[in-house]
Structure 1
Amino acid sequence: MKMVRAIVRPEKENDVVLALEAKGFPAMTKVNVFGRGKQKGIQVGPIRYDELPKVMLMVVVEDEDVPVLMEVIRQAAYVGYEGDGKVFISPVTEAYTIRTGEKSGSTV
Structure 2
Amino acid sequence: MKKVEAIIQQEKLEELKYAIDHEAETSGMTVTQVLGCGQQKGLKEYVRGQEVITTLLPKIKVSFVVNDDKVEDILTLILDICQTEEVGDGKIFVYPIEEVIRIRTRERGIKAI
Q: Tell me whether the two structures share a fold, i.e. TM-score over 0.5.
A: yes
Are 1:4 and 2:4 an aligned pair? yes
Give the TM-score taking structure 1 as reference length.
0.88
Listed as ranges, the matches of 1:1-108 within 5 Å are 1-24=1-24, 25-44=26-45, 46-105=51-110
Structure 1: stretches of 5+ with no match in the other structure:
none
TM-score, normalization by structure 2: 0.84
Moved more, 81-90 or 38-47: 38-47
Is the 1:3–1:90 Cα contact (8 Å) retained in structure 2?
A: yes
| 1:94 aligned counterpart, secondary structure | coil
Percent of paired sites with the same residue: 33
Secondary structure in 1 matching 2:63: strand
Aligned CA-pair RMSD: 1.5
Counterpart residue type for residue 20 of structure 1:
I
Give the strand-richer structure, 1 or 2. 1
- Give the letter for the 1:88 counterpart: F
- The size of the alignment, in residue pairs, is 105
Larger gyration radius, structure 1 or structure 2 = 2
CA deviations 1:13-67 (Å, max 9, x no partner) are 1111111222233410100111111332233463311000011000011111111
